Amino acid sequence: MDIHVFQEQSHLSISSPSVIALVLDFMDHAKVTYDEVSIYFVDTQTISEMHGEYFDDPTTTDCISFPMDLPDAEGYRVMGDVFVCPETASDFIAKNGGDCYEEITLYVIHGLLHLLGYDDIEEEDRLEMRKAETDYLTRVAKKKLWLISEK
């Protein structure tokens, strides 16, 4: 699987190998296969502009996902793109405590779940997504797959 990691922000250093390991394990855990997925780490301005353009809401957000091919599609299958804003994680941690890299890990997982068809608009769907996040974060903690700083 081709996992493309794009660092388009300078707020936090994020290890591309840790992103790749997380995504590969996520795919294994979800029991899905794709040929390609892209993870972009972007700044607040970029995520806000994207949020405004694609969701008619120009405020900042944690992540935005764009699914491409369905799991049962024929041929070369692109899972999609996930855009994550590390600055949003830093702001959240500054107010609520915790670890910024763990928060960013959650955002990547959240985005990947969206690519698999999970949604969080309706309450029932949001509860299902939160359960999937919690289940996978438990696995991440056991396997020590948290995203880390680039060294």
Each residue's pLDDT tens digit, 128-139: 999 999 999 999
Domains and their CATH numbers in the chain: 2-143 (3.40.390.30)
Band the pLDDT of 150: cuts 50, 70, 90.
Answer: confident
Phi then psi dihedrals of residue 56, to 5 deg:
55, 35
Q: What angle do CA 38, 135, 87 make, to 5 degrees?
A: 45
The dihedral sign for the CA sequence 32, 34, 80, 90: positive
The one-letter amino acid at 35: D
pLDDT of residue 117: 94
CA atoms within 13 A on the CB side of 130: 8
Q: Determine the Cα–Cα distance for residues 49 and 61; give it in Å rounded to an integer.
A: 10
Sheet with strand 63-67: strands edge to edge: 2-8, 36-42, 78-84, 63-67
Each residue's pLDDT tens digit, 42-92: 999 999 999 999 999 999 999 999 999 988 889 999 999 999 999 999 999
